[in-house]
């Protein structure tokens, strides 16, 4: 397959995925604490469905969408040629190997490299899909290390509501349901702020965007 054909196929596939996501969820972006302007950002969100990054990517304006790369699990997206094509060619994902024993690249270094190439990122700091009763799982340290490595980049919390009901775990056929994505005010690492304190602050900022959260 020629590079030109692969590029065209990736573009058409991306459009088809976006149309399907909009049809199934009628997603509504609520820019509550920030505007959708062309600025480099790390969008960090809650993770309750395999479709989370697709929906977040879909609601971004086209100009922002083109420069935004999801951080995704290599072991999931390389399971088949089709998944590999979608992960690599359609979304240009930063593929992170979740298996420490098989890892050949440092995950934080991979994300920093993407930022240095002027990309924005979509990141799920819980590190795995949350199927518990807790609103959020404890954050992994990656978000802190990104904030420390590139302190000028906006860290934008995004709460994704209802997508876990659209695509419940173990189900194949989605259930049509309106989803909202609420974008909050950007965060930055404060001078001398400890890792645990920063991660607690980032988690609280994300939880504050959830429907029904205290104002």
Provide the pLDDT confidence category of residue 78 given band limits of 50, 70 and 90: confident
Strands laid side by side in the 154-161 sheet: 28-31, 180-183, 154-161, 41-45, 120-123, 68-73, 94-96
Query: Position of tokens 């596939």?
Result: 13
What is residue 143's predicted lDDT score, i.e. its pLDDT? Answer: 96
- On the question of pLDDT at 167 being above 80, the answer is no
- On the question of pLDDT at 202 being above 90, the answer is yes
Provide the pLDDT confidence category of residue 18 given band limits of 50, 70 and 90: confident
What is residue 122's predicted lDDT score, i.e. its pLDDT? Answer: 96
* Top-ranked range on mean pLDDT: pick from 64-68, 130-134, 209-213: 64-68
> How crowded is residue 200: how many other Cβ atoms within 10 Å of its Cβ?
13
Superfamily of the domain at 3-207:
Glycerol-3-phosphate (1)-acyltransferase (3.40.1130.10)
Question: What sections of 67-179 are H helices per DSSP?
Answer: 74-77, 81-84, 107-116, 142-149, 163-166
Name the phi and psi angles at 127, rounded to 5.
85, -15
What is residue 214's predicted lDDT score, i.e. its pLDDT? Answer: 65
């Amino acid at each position: 397959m020629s590079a030109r054909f692969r590029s065209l196929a990736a573009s058409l596939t991306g459009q088809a995925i976006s149309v399907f996501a909009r049809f199934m969820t009628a997603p509504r972006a609520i820019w509550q604490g920030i505007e959708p302007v062309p600025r480099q950002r790390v969008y960090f969100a809650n993770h309750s469905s395999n479709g989370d990054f697709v929906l977040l990517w879909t609601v971004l304006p086209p100009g922002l969408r083109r420069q935004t790369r999801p951080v995704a699990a290599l072991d999931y997206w390389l399971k088949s040629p089709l998944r590999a094509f979608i992960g690599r060619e359609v979304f240009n994902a930063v593929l992170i190997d979740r298996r420490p024993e098989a890892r050949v690249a440092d995950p934080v270094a991979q994300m920093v490299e993407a930022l240095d190439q002027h990309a924005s990122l979509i990141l799920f700091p819980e590190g795995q899909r949350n199927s518990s009763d807790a609103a959020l799982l404890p954050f992994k340290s990656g978000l802190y290390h990104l904030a420390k490595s590139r302190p000028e980049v906006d860290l934008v919390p995004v709460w994704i509501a209802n997508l876990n009901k659209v695509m419940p775990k173990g189900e194949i056929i989605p259930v049509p349901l309106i989803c909202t994505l609420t974008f909050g005010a950007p965060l930055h690492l404060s001078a001398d702020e400890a890792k645990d304190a920063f991660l607690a602050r980032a988690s609280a900022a994300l939880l504050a965007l959830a429907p029904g959260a205290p104002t």
